[in-house]
Amino acid sequence: MNKSPLQIARYAYNPKLPQILREDLNKICASKGGATSAASDGEAISRLFPNTYGLPKVEFVKGENKKDEKTYNVGVILSGGQAPGGHNVICGLYDALKKANPANQLFGFCGGPSGILEDKFIILNDEIINEYRNTGGFDMIQSGRTKLETQEQFAVCSEVCKKHSINAIVIIGGDDSNTNAAVLAEYFKAKGENVCVVGCPKTIDGDLKNEFIETSFGFDTACKTYSELIGNIERDANSAQKYWHFIRLMGRSASHIALECAIQTQPNICIVGEEVEAKNQSLEDITNYIASVVAKRAENGNNFGVCLVPEGLIEFIPSVKVLISEINDLVAENEKEFGALATTASKIAYIESLLTTDSKRVFNSLPQAIEAQLLLDRDPHGNVQVSLIETEKLLIETVKAKLAAMKKEGKYCGKFATQNHFFGYEGRCAFPSNFDSDYCYSLGYNAFLLIRDNLTGYISSVRNLSAPADQWLAGGIPITMMMNMEQRHGEQKPVIKKALVELDGAPFKYFESKREIWAVDTCFTYPGAIQYFGPSEVCDRTTSTLALENAK
Amino acid sequence: MNKSPLQIARYAYNPKLPQILREDLNKICASKGGATSAASDGEAISRLFPNTYGLPKVEFVKGENKKDEKTYNVGVILSGGQAPGGHNVICGLYDALKKANPANQLFGFCGGPSGILEDKFIILNDEIINEYRNTGGFDMIQSGRTKLETQEQFAVCSEVCKKHSINAIVIIGGDDSNTNAAVLAEYFKAKGENVCVVGCPKTIDGDLKNEFIETSFGFDTACKTYSELIGNIERDANSAQKYWHFIRLMGRSASHIALECAIQTQPNICIVGEEVEAKNQSLEDITNYIASVVAKRAENGNNFGVCLVPEGLIEFIPSVKVLISEINDLVAENEKEFGALATTASKIAYIESLLTTDSKRVFNSLPQAIEAQLLLDRDPHGNVQVSLIETEKLLIETVKAKLAAMKKEGKYCGKFATQNHFFGYEGRCAFPSNFDSDYCYSLGYNAFLLIRDNLTGYISSVRNLSAPADQWLAGGIPITMMMNMEQRHGEQKPVIKKALVELDGAPFKYFESKREIWAVDTCFTYPGAIQYFGPSEVCDRTTSTLALENAK
């Protein structure tokens, strides 16, 4: 590997552990609470997880633990999209494992969950681990999007574990991967096979969180990277004073990233998908809102600004959601005819002719390029790829049209020149911030303690994250505790409840209380690049979302 | 202003000055060399600058200078696009000015050169200056793109200077702005008005450099910001191993930024516009080259990679350059008919029918979206806006087509999934790196010394930049020394010669010697975010371009 000076310097960083995890391993005990239940649909979930449902919450505390003579062979899997800090989870797990017994082994399954199915792994050793400490990316063992969910797959996992005497698996992933970790844990228990399965909460999107998982790792670093760029663009906007910048931000359906970045950078506008849905806003409503801010600023001579748009917005607009679902159905039902059409124009005309009146109106209100994106960019299941729709360009077009109309009515007299941006891949593999370096290392280290106490079906939980690291709490909670039943592909499935932005939560409330001032005045804040070595107030703070939520 | 923790922490940074500039002001003397000439066309230029041509180079050295009793009222102007460090030029100028005499005043003309024409300024004081130390952006007084070039404008400048007793103007700008600074200096000299005009070399594009100006300010910070993002994307590419990322980089016509970023991040492909032109490569040649790298990597199972594309590439492809020029002429000649066409398709058909056979062939080889961009996005002069052409998407399309053809011939058997990016505004207003903070502060401080010695028509020159700051050399050179005559808008004009990438220069030679390995192997390097507080090897290095050029 070719190493930048920063990468070399970051090797020297010692991630901070919670005080309890700094103890000798045999001085750490699991303190168990009472039986737990699910987030909801407890009965259904208890039926699906007869062996792992209702287990107690666990917190690690100081105490005498039995001298552990067992040898551990642990497999680790990175699942899904990259998030800064994934390497440190593995490093923390590795260090705890080797501290317990140098003979313990860590199998890194390559390329995500398919690694275990294909029995593709590397044995992680000091040489490999030390190359990846405090670095971004998942390149140590790569990730993948295969899902471990069928009984056949589980049987293969079981075989592979037997073959290598693997007695624990750590799955580092998002809500779906942790759901699957719970199902796999239940599978092993039901079969009477003693393979402990532990999950770790990963996703930059920030939508895997609840009372016990305060944040998923990577969210901090990704938001800081995007906020750096947004701040730089804000400063450019305020220097040149001639462009409105529309910036779309990654984050799947939830708007956590957009909201966090808004709080960090104080742009003029940030659309929050969850609010759009709750208020049943149409594309026209959103357009009118943006146009009104543009017009208000123009009155003060400010023909510039910054508007943040969450990636998932389009699906939160109820009328567009209906339109997308109709298009998905129409394309599926008329696959042959649709596929035979040669030009984009003919596809647009064909679909248009079949839409319901309401959806046709919505479809016709879209710029042609967006109509084309709705029809052309389809995922392997034939569905519209929402993440590829350039919503920021869509809004620029609709706002432009609205402003032109307002100009005719004498209600707007400014200039509206625009730039558009999309940030996603820029933040998923950044060097983890000090927070994510510490948090991830702790999650991995802690995962080994869960394994040692045979706490299968648990997710590694490190809490009290707004306090300095030594005051963090470490433990685990049963994954089933975070589940409810949801309709997926036509059937009821047990899944971890996705955490969307709560409109009565502290971060949104804070944003709501400020946005009118931010809209009209120029209150831009410029966070700058993530710093790893400077003053603590620059380097060691985490997200505003976490600070606001924990200040409750 | 709302201040981020980093912004507050950066206020405490003391920019490093060259040793000579740390002396008492009356211990610094100008050591003058022999008479100078122009870069070329000396005779023509000497005729145009009878009063300011041929002046000596100046270097500041230790010595007794006369006690300066004069009071200085200096006007400062930011001209053109933002570049990190602009504020520090003003801060350095301010500090030297106030050190010389607290009664001296600094007039910040607002909104660029139009500020002086409209007599719009603020008097800069400690309170304002201290808010902007070591920060990015030009928001202290804003910039603008008005050009100071007509006699009428100069007369207004003269009046404004008289009105406020301004006896010096510092113009912070790129090649055009410094050219205009020289013309303005000549104007004042010719009129016998004692207003000293000094330039400072600004541009992220890196194309204002020569023997005496080693680099323009902002290039370092902008390249580091882009390299941070490219590195993060490389790490993502190497983790997910499923996308080719095509990244277009700002930088106008020259490819300095793309080349510097390539050296910092070691991507699989970087196209250099100057090489394309020198080798008379066609779009097809470039496409074939990229496709051959994609195919070679696919042979090793690597269906991922990163390709850098300089913004100005399209104009360096000789056949496309001809096409663009034909389109510009056709649209101008047939303005009414062209403007009356309602749809993009009809505009495309109309222009197509009028193109020469060769250009028609090139035009038809472009994807429809690019054809539309060539016709629709026009600047106020009716010309194609080259910077808005999404060359990265163009190349994705042409490479995709080439790979499909190769697949049919059995010469390619991989997958080609892509992502595209454009980075520009993200880097122009970043917090200046330590290098740019130091360099800019020194340029501004040094500019005052040029003013004090009445060195009008000079550009502030700080050299030996690869060495630690205390070893830097400070002085000035006559702007006319960097000039040649060029055809502009149909007439011969004296201009500063734009520095394009030299194919026999050290940076390109280095890149050339490595690119074959970088293409096939994965040699990605991840620079990470700019650091301001860490170990010196992380925080105090400047660009590879500068290091390689100065190692000559």
Residue B114: the pLDDT is 96
Q: Structure tokens of B10? A: 């950066």
CB contact under 8 A, B82 and A236: yes
Residue A366: the pLDDT is 87
The pLDDT of B301-321, averaged and rounded, is 94
Pairing of the two strands A105-109 and A196-201: unpaired
Segments in chain A below pLDDT 50: none
Contact (Cβ atoms closer than 8 angstroms) between residue B398 and residue A203 = no
Amino acid at B308: L
Query: b vs e for A28-59, b when ≥16 Cβ sit within 10 Å of the residue's Cβ?
Result: bbbeeeeebbbbebbebbbebbeebbbbbbbb
Is it the case that residue B356 has pLDDT exceeding 90?
Answer: yes
Q: What is the pLDDT of residues B364-394, one digit of tens each?
A: 888 888 888 888 777 766 777 877 889 999 9
Report which of B311, B328, B318 is spatially closest to residue B362, judged by C-alpha positions. Answer: B318
Residue B491: the pLDDT is 85
CB contact under 8 A, B232 and A529: no
Q: What does the alpha-carbon distance between residue B264 and residue B225 come to, in Å, rounded to a whole number?
A: 11
Q: What does the alpha-carbon distance between residue A497 and residue A487 come to, in Å, rounded to a whole number?
A: 12
Q: What is the pLDDT of residues B412-461, one digit of tens each?
A: 999 999 999 999 999 999 999 999 999 999 999 999 999 999 999 999 99
Q: What is the pLDDT of residues A42-91, one digit of tens each?
A: 999 999 999 999 999 999 999 998 877 899 999 999 999 999 999 999 99
Residue A531: the pLDDT is 98
Q: What does the alpha-carbon distance between residue B514 and residue B269 come to, in Å, rounded to a whole number?
A: 11
Please tell me the distance in Å from B48's CA to the nearest CA on chain A.
33
Rounded (10°) CA dihedral B430, B436, B437, B438: 170
Is it the case that residue B111 has pLDDT exceeding 90?
Answer: yes
Pairing of the two strands A491-496 and B244-249: unpaired
Q: What does the alpha-carbon distance between residue A85 and residue A92 come to, in Å, rounded to a whole number?
A: 11
A82 touches chain B (CB under 8 A): yes
Residue A56: the pLDDT is 97
Q: Is A304 left (phi over 0), alpha (psi -120 to 50) or beta?
A: beta
Residue A158: the pLDDT is 98
Which residues does chain A have within 8 Å of residue B431's beta carbon, measured at their own beta carbons?
A: 526, 528-529
Chain B nearest-CA residue for A422: B421
Q: Which of A9, A425, A531 sits opposite B532 (nearest CB)?
A: A531
CB pairs under 8 A between A and B: 190
Residue B339: the pLDDT is 85
Which residues does chain B have within 8 Å of residue A239's beta carbon, measured at their own beta carbons?
A: 82, 137-139, 142-143, 429
Catalytic residue among A41, A175, A176, A205: A205
B220 classed as catalytic: no
Q: What is the pLDDT of residues B307-316, one digit of tens each?
A: 999 999 998 9
Q: What does the alpha-carbon distance between residue B87 and residue B106 come to, in Å, rounded to a whole number?
A: 13
Residues 6 or more apart whose CB falls under 8 angstroms from that of B285 comprise B276, B279
Which residues does chain A have within 8 Å of residue B173's beta carbon, measured at their own beta carbons?
A: none
When the pLDDT of each residue in chain B is averaged and rounded to a whole number, the result is: 95
Residue A393: the pLDDT is 93
Q: ipTM > 0.90?
A: yes
Q: What does the alpha-carbon distance between residue A470 and residue B534 come to, in Å, rounded to a whole number?
A: 23
A3 touches chain B (CB under 8 A): yes
Residue A374: the pLDDT is 87
Residue B354: the pLDDT is 94
Q: What is the pLDDT of residues B172-214, one digit of tens each?
A: 999 999 999 999 999 999 999 999 999 999 999 999 999 889 9
CB contact under 8 A, B534 and A236: no
Q: Which of B10, B232, B530 sits opposite A427 (nearest CB)?
A: B232
Residue A552: the pLDDT is 66
The CA–CA distances, whole Å, from A211 to A39, A175, A206, A549, B503 equal 10, 15, 14, 10, 60
Residue A373: the pLDDT is 85
Q: Structure tokens of B45? A: 């230029």
Chain B nearest-CA residue for A140: B239
Residue B552: the pLDDT is 66
CB contact under 8 A, A232 and B136: yes
